[in-house]
């Protein structure tokens, strides 16, 4: 059975931006109550919108947004395969990558990899032991990047640019800002709040 659907990119983008804007504002207010007013609960609302926490509205949205992207990638794969495209399998591989990223976002799989800390702390020092997951993930990301490089180079210029921008935004939040926030963690100030919020918004 073939199911046809049509999405209007501008409408979808506007809708998602509205959600992101709301979550960003709610996260900022949550951070203010948590770090400035020292009110970690506020009837349970603060943790629900904290951009640096898991199993709350921002993390669920991020996970489902990634799965929505996975759905689109799978749809592209089906279309490309139906039309005999030689490199269609790359779209399917991306589908599985995004499924994993969505699971990781919601179920915090990456933090399990922080168990490598005892083996790496004498070689690489990271202020927060819970951030050691970035090392095995960086190696994994490099391998995945090399696998997809031929596919990436064959994309149309406009599509390649969009992939590049989206990838840089996501990776800079997932890796770069994680490290920076671990350095300033425990220092309750506006810098920490700004980094915390920016990291969360980028991932969302």
> What confidence score (pLDDT) does residue 121 get?
64
| Residue 185, pLDDT above cutoff 60 | no
Burial letters 2-17, b for 16+ CB under 10 A, else e: eeeeeeeeeeeeeeee
Name the burial class of residue 71, with classes exposed (0-12), middle (13-18) and buried (19+) by CB atoms within 10 angstroms of its CB.
Answer: middle
Instruction: Specify the pTM.
Output: 0.83
pLDDT digits (tens, 9 = 90+) for 4-29: 667 788 899 999 999 999 998 998 89
Rg (CA), the chain: 19
- Say if residues 160 and 182 touch (Cβ distance below 8 Å): no
CA distance from start to end of the chain: 34
pLDDT digits (tens, 9 = 90+) for 132-158: 777 888 899 999 999 999 999 999 999
């Amino acid at each position: 059975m073939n199911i046809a659907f049509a999405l209007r990119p501008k409408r979808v983008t506007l809708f998602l931006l509205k959600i992101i804007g709301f979550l960003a504002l709610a996260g900022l207010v949550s951070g203010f109550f948590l770090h400035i007013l020292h009110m970690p609960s506020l009837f349970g609302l603060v943790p629900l919108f904290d951009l640096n926490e898991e199993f709350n509205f921002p993390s669920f949205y991020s996970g489902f947004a990634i799965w929505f992207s996975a759905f689109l990638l799978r749809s592209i794969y089906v279309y490309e395969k139906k039309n005999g495209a030689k490199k269609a399998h790359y779209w399917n591989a991306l589908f599985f990558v995004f499924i994993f990223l969505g699971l990781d976002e919601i179920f915090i799989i990456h933090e399990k990899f922080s168990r490598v800390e005892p083996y790496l702390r004498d070689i690489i020092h990271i202020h927060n032991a819970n951030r050691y997951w970035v090392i095995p993930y960086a190696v994994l990301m490099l391998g995945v990047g090399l696998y997809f490089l031929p596919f990436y180079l064959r994309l149309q210029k406009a599509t390649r640019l969009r992939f590049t921008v989206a990838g840089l935004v996501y990776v800079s939040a997932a890796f770069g800002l994680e490290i920076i926030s671990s350095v300033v963690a425990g220092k309750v100030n506006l810098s920490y709040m700004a980094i915390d919020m920016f990291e969360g918004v980028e991932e969302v």
